[in-house]
Structure 1
Amino acid sequence: MVAVAGVVEAYPDLARRIMDRPARLGRTRLIAVDGPSGAGKTHFAERLADTLQALVPDRDRPPIVHTDDLLAGWADQFTFWPRLEEQVLAPIRAGHPGHYRCYDWDRGCFTSNWTTVPAAPVVILEGVSVARSAVRAELTLSVFVTAPDQLRLDRALARDGVAIRPYLEEWRRGELIHFAADATVEHVDLMIDGASDLPHDPGVHYVRLSPRRAESP
């Protein structure tokens, strides 16, 4: 990827572009926020959801499905997808609510409670590999968030503790292999700098990296 200067853009403008695009997962606009661990995917997804709710205040906040909640442990890094498809995507595609049980990483098992995902106008997927080729045709918008390698490592260890480092290092190797094989970066609509030093308010703005694909529906 050729490094270029970032461009500061506003979440409200992006939210309006999303709502102007067609739904491709049934009647739902599915947004994928992909990228490696520690890049800033969760921050971007949360700010986008807040902005979309503010844009249409009579609607509920768009649900965010964090795929870390669906993984059955570290070894399920990419193989969780059939679970996501069966429990969440397939029902929403048919106009019905999806549901899933969250994985308890401390206990090493799924909880007994189910989380419901409505077939809302917008649903956001956040996590490594969510913009994968298997779902590209049904995405209204695909986003890839990136940041420098060492910073991402520092963020992940600060968030989850140094004890996870052996698992995290294997996870990071898996990310590199997946993104290369899937050609994720080459296919996303929007590249985001998750560690930009450009002056901006991260609650209102994000920093886009070029190139990005044409945004015609």
Structure 2
Amino acid sequence: MHDKCPLWPVPQPFCQCSRLPGTDQYWPEPLASAPRRADPRPRPTRAAARAPGRTAPPAPSRRIRPPYAGAVRQDPAHQSGPAGPLPRLAAELRAAPPSLGPVRLVAVDGHAGSGKTTFAGRLAEALGGAPVLHLDDLASHEELFAWTARLRTQVLAPFSRGEEARYRPYDWRRRAFGPARPLPAAPVVLIEGVGAGRRAVRPVLARLLWMDVPALTAHLRGERRDGPEQAAFWRGWVPAERRHFASDPSRPFADTLVRHGAAEPALLSGPGRGHLDRRAGDRG
């Protein structure tokens, strides 16, 4: 036995310490039958552990993960909060730079029957009563999609000068355009209808919203809404809409996709979000 044995006072027969080369340190290698060294510290009994006034040992500390650890940064259009998605969107639109004179022109596009009119009405309410132009008022039986010239002369040109617009809405029963209606050049103006985000209009838009409902689903909704008396109209409308979006699609340029939810719509970043940034940069 040597005086540097870490197993001291293990009896000599059980000590097989090896000296580390080049040092005066020893590495213990006791036999399997070597007795274990008794722990000199007293161990409390169960009765002592349950004695009154004895405090429990502190629980081991846990590493608390910060709430933001691993979180994915989302676009504001994805986020929801106490205010709800529509007030958030309304705040974004008010903060956007004007896109046409003093007006922030916002288009709500999508297939017929996708809920554009309802959503535009709710968004206008969130904006404090923003004006809404329904593109059905500029179309006609003979020109379902050839209304760009009327939109440009009756609405876009006055807005570019900071003036109130005046447009003549189409009467679908009388098949004629009626007397002019005013459309104020408000800070935010909504235009809603199939083709609202067309190529000729996109340069003057502050935001393009697309109602993200499949064409078949939207058309079935529209047919149920309008009833059998409009069945002939829908038979002509569906192929005309298909031809329009085939030659002049809007969804690839949408800044925000709108999907129907149980209580509130879901607002997602659209495939054309980069186009929005470039348009804002050009106007800036």
Task: Compute the TM-score of the two structures, normalised by the length of structure 2.
Answer: 0.64
RMSD: 2.0
Structure 1: 5+ residue stretches without partners: 1-6, 54-60
Give SS of 1:76's match: coil
Q: How does 1:181-200 map to 2 (within 5 A)?
A: 181-193=247-259, 196=260, 198-199=261-262
Q: CA deviation at 1:211?
A: 4.2
Q: Distance in 1 between matches of 2:194 and 2:233?
A: 15
Q: State the match for 1:4 in structure 2.
A: none
Partner of 1:93: 160
Shift of 1:146: 3.0
In structure 2, give the amino acid aligned to 1:101.
R
**Where in structure 2 are there 5+ consecutive unaligned residues?**
1-77
Equivalent position to 1:166, from 232, 238, 242: 232
**Residue 160 and residue 95 in structure 1: after superposition, are their counterparts in 2 closer, same or farther (change >3 A)?**
same
1:109 aligns with 2:176: yes
Paired position in structure 2 for 1:62: 130
Do 2:108 and 2:210's aligned partners in 1 also have CA atoms closer than 8 Å? yes
Count of aligned pairs between the two proteins? 196
Relative to structure 1, is the Cα distance of residues 87 and 164 closer, same or farther in structure 2, using a 3 angstrom cutoff?
same
Structure with the bigger percentage of helix: 1
Q: Give the conservation status (yes or no) of the 8 Å contact 1:36–1:172.
A: no
| Identity fraction in percent | 37
Structure 1 or 2: larger strand share? 1
Q: What secondary structure is seen at the aligned counterpart in 1 of 2:180?
A: strand
d(CA) in 1 for partners of 2:215 and 2:251? 16
3-state SS, counterpart of residue 156 of structure 1: helix
Distance 2:237 2:219 in 1: 11
Amino acid at match of 1:154: L
Q: 1:118 matched to which residue of 2?
A: 184
Tell me what 1:37 maps to.
112
Residues 17-60 of structure 1 show CA distances to partners (whole Å, capped at 9, x for unaligned) of 1111111111100000011100010111111100011xxxxxxx
3-state secondary structure, aligned to 1:175:
helix
Secondary structure of 1:143's aligned partner: strand
Counterpart in 1 of 2:102?
A: 27
Question: How many Å separate the matches in 2 of 1:183 and 1:151?
Answer: 18
Which 4+ residue blocks in structure 1 deviate beyond 6 angstroms? Answer: none
User: Structure 1 residues 77, 42: closer, same or farther in 2, change over 3 A?
Assistant: same
**TM-score after normalising by structure 1:** 0.82
What is the alpha-carbon distance in structure 1 between the residues aligned to residue 217 and residue 198 of structure 2? 24
Q: In the alignment, is the contact (CA less than 8 A) between 2:109 and 2:193 conserved in 1?
A: yes
Cα separation, 2, equivalents of 1:104 and 1:161: 19
- Contact 1:8/1:206, CA 8 A, preserved across alignment: no
